[in-house]
């Protein structure tokens, strides 16, 4: 029974959104604004490619970009980098927008698509040709690769590099008109085939792809390359600080070249930071897609996935994820963050906000031999130990109870202070009980029933209750008042800390990454709402599964254990 007057979860907000720690990007933004370098403006953007669901790595970028805009009075644009016609899907667009909103960020009117700039990209490319800074090449992809050289050898110039501007312009127009097949021609920047930076060795700007685009349909059969379109998009939107991950550091000279050599309206600057790597976790969208397609998980929102939809379903809150992004900070150092750091952020958020409840995950019967069969007593348990104002709920104590199987040991191991023959524990919110005997199943040898007597003088909350000292304090439920529900207990998806470095991560999948148990729970949990997290006393934080639950039949996911059990093992 849930007592009246206890505030519901939705009315309470955890205020632990952290105050931002400084980092090199915040410092340079502060400096740029102080010196008026960007006209006093700050404009950032989050530019996902809509070819998958966002993961926890994206959250780092989202918190950085939107967080800067929030803290410095700037704007952060939401922009889809949809330059690749083959791969994008609206399903991903919808999910990405929903997820960014869920994380607590708002782009206002600033929702853009790189495909909005296709016409301008084309116009600027034509201008580059007119200025002698781009040319249409007809080497094959293979030849272009061979001509490029490598880190020790300079590249060779294409024989088409010096063709007349008018010829390149004409060919570029006809590329657009659809006169050539895929790969037959390519528009290349005319920069420097001897550059030590391979990205400057006449990189491709446009390629032919006879593939309809989900937004522009069949309007185009040539598509701008990412490096070109990205720089143009940033400049068109007058982004001031274009923040990306370190692997784009070598692309920055090309980014600058595009901005400087086209008549774009803005002058964005690119800065790089290190991407998030998380132990026991894959972060590449391609591999996450494989996990889904090969059925290693049950979908993008499987609670074991590092996707934000998966984490959300698992029980992660936006506050916990923002706290995590704050704690890990921003730098240029490559590192792998312990998964435990993420889990700790969730604990510290849920510890504050979640109501306490009792669930027995692996029940075994406990009979109180001296407790009358027809009696039942109400025991009051606080909804939150530090928030008396959140009220209490009552647990019914009866002769027959269930307790956790591992709270009993036939022969107590060293340091085991819970139930075993002759030993006493406190039943939380109730009495001290002393184990008298137990039954086992003759075939399996498993314990089926534990018997105990209770001491009527030790009722919690009454004077003298603590006269009998016991070390153990266990949770319990009455067999008459403990509906059975499905509970899913998750472990790490991978057995080794860095699955991403292995040639094949599949053999490293943890076969026990989910364990489904039939738990007994407080009756009030039957009415749990999706999105409402609880601490099940002593066993972790749980949330009603948003997908597989139905009215009256909740399924619970364990979001995280109470302590970092992995760190101890």
In 228-287, the DSSP E strands lie at 241-245, 269-273
Look up residue 82 and give its DSSP letter: -
353 interface partner picked from ligand ATP, Mg ion, none, CB below 5 to 8 A per type: none
Q: How many residues contact Mg ion, by CB under 5 A?
A: 1
**Positions marked active-site:** 49, 275, 285
Rounded least distance, CB 272 to ligand ATP, Å: 9
Alpha carbon distance 426, 513 (integer Å): 33
Rounded least distance, CB 497 to ligand ATP, Å: 16
Chain residue whose CB lies nearest ligand ATP: 57
Token couple for 237: 């939107």
Alpha carbon distance 181, 209 (integer Å): 8
Per the CB < 8 A criterion, the answer to whether 210 and 221 are in contact is yes
Alpha carbon distance 157, 191 (integer Å): 10
Q: Tell me the three state secondary structure of residue 75.
A: strand
Per the CB < 8 A criterion, the answer to whether 411 and 420 are in contact is yes
244 interface partner picked from Mg ion, ligand ATP, none, CB below 5 to 8 A per type: ligand ATP
**What residues contact residue 492 under an 8 Å CB cut-off, 6+ apart?**
280, 339, 510, 513, 566
| Residue 289 contacts Mg ion per CB under 5 A | no
CB nearer to Mg ion: pick between 81 and 344: 81
Q: Which range binds Mg ion by CB under 5 A, 22-30, 47-55, 309-317, 493-501? A: 47-55
488 interface partner picked from Mg ion, ligand ATP, none, CB below 5 to 8 A per type: none
Contact string (CB under 5 A) for Mg ion, positions 134-173, x = contact: ----------------------------------------
What is the torsion angle, in degrees rounded to the nearest 10, for the CA atoms of residue 360, residue 363, residue 367 and residue 371?
Answer: 20
Alpha carbon distance 121, 134 (integer Å): 13
CB nearer to ligand ATP: pick between 246 and 547: 246
Rounded least distance, CB 221 to ligand ATP, Å: 24
CB nearer to ligand ATP: pick between 283 and 508: 283
241 interface partner picked from ligand ATP, Mg ion, none, CB below 5 to 8 A per type: none
CB nearer to Mg ion: pick between 49 and 548: 49
CB nearer to ligand ATP: pick between 234 and 349: 234
CB nearer to ligand ATP: pick between 251 and 418: 251
Strand 432-440 relative to strand 43-46: parallel, antiparallel, unpaired?
Answer: unpaired
Of 6, 23, 26, 49, which one interacts with Mg ion (CB under 5 A)?
49
**What residues contact residue 25 under an 8 Å CB cut-off, 6+ apart?**
64, 68, 241, 243, 271, 273, 330
CB nearer to ligand ATP: pick between 140 and 284: 284
**What residues contact residue 211 under an 8 Å CB cut-off, 6+ apart?**
85, 86, 221
**What residues contact residue 456 under an 8 Å CB cut-off, 6+ apart?**
431
Rounded least distance, CB 32 to ligand ATP, Å: 20
Token couple for 52: 């998958």
Rounded least distance, CB 60 to ligand ATP, Å: 4
Chain residue whose CB lies nearest Mg ion: 49
Alpha carbon distance 457, 419 (integer Å): 19
The DSSP-derived string for 131-145 is TTSEEEE-S-HHHHH
Residues in the chain: 569
Binding residues for ligand ATP, rule: CB under 6 A, are: 47-49, 57-58, 60-61, 81, 244-245, 275-276, 283-285
Rounded least distance, CB 350 to ligand ATP, Å: 24
Rounded least distance, CB 206 to Mg ion, Å: 18
Nearest alpha-carbon partner for 271 in 288, 303, 248: 248
Residues lying near Mg ion in the complex (CB under 5 A) are found at 49
């Amino acid at each position: 029974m849930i007592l009246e007057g206890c505030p519901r979860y939705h009315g309470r907000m955890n205020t632990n959104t952290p105050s931002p720690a400084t980092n090199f990007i915040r410092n340079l933004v502060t400096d740029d604004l102080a010196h008026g370098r960007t006209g006093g403006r700050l404009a950032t953007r989050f530019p996902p490619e809509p070819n998958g669901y966002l993961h926890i790595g994206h959250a780092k970028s989202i918190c950085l970009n939107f967080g800067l805009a929030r803290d410095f009075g700037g704007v952060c644009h939401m922009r889809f980098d949809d330059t690749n016609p083959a791969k994008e899907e609206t399903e991903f667009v919808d999910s990405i927008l929903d997820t960014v909103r869920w994380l607590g960020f708002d782009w206002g009117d600033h929702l853009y698509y790189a495909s909005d700039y296709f016409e301008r990209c084309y116009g600027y490319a034509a201008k580059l040709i007119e200025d002698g800074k781009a040319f249409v090449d007809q080497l094959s992809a293979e030849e272009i690769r061979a001509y490029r050289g490598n880190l020790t050898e300079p590249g060779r110039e294409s024989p088409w590099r010096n063709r007349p501007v008018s010829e390149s312009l004409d060919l570029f127009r006809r590329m657009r008109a659809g006169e050539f097949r895929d790969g037959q021609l390519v528009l290349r920047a005319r920069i420097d085939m001897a550059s030590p930076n391979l990205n400057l060795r006449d990189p491709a700007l446009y390629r032919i792809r006879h593939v309809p685009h989900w937004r522009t349909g069949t309007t185009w059969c040539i598509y701008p390359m990412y490096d070109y379109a990205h720089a143009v998009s940033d400049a068109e939107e007058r982004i001031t600080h274009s923040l990306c991950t370190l692997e784009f550091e070598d692309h920055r000279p090309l980014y600058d070249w595009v901005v400087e050599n086209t008549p774009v309206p803005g002058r964005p600057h690119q800065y790089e930071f290190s991407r998030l790597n998380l132990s026991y976790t894959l972060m590449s969208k391609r591999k996450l897609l494989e996990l889904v397609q090969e059925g290693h998980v049950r979908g993008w929102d499987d609670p074991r996935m590092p996707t934000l939809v998966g984490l959300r379903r698992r029980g992660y809150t936006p506050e916990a994820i923002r706290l995590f992004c704050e704690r890990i900070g921003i730098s240029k150092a490559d590192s792998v963050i312990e998964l435990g750091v993420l889990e700790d952020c969730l604990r510290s958020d849920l510890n504050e906000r979640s109501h306490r409840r009792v669930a027995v995950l692996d029940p075994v019967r406990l009979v109180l031999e001296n407790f009358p069969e027809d009696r039942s007593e109400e025991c009051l348990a606080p909804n939150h130990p530090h928030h008396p104002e959140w009220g209490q709920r009552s647990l019914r104590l009866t002769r027959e109870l269930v307790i956790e199987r591992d709270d009993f040991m036939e022969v107590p191991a060293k340091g085991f202070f819970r139930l075993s023959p002759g030993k006493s524990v406190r039943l939380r919110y109730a009495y001290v009980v002393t184990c008298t005997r137990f039954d086992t199943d003759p075939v399996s040898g498993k314990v089926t029933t534990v018997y105990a007597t209770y001491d009527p003088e030790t009722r919690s909350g009454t004077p003298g209750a603590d006269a009998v000292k016991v070390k153990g304090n266990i949770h319990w439920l009455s067999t008459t008042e403990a509906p059975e529900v499905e509970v899913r207990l998750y472990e790490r998806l991978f057995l080794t800390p860095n699955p991403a470095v292995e040639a094949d991560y599949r053999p490293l999948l943890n076969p026990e990454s989910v364990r489904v148990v039939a738990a007994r729970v407080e009756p009030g949990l039957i009415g749990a709402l999706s999105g409402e997290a609880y601490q099940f006393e002593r066993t972790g934080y749980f949330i009603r599964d948003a997908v597989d639950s139905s009215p009256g039949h909740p399924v619970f996911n364990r979001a995280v254990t109470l302590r970092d059990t992995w760190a101890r093992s």
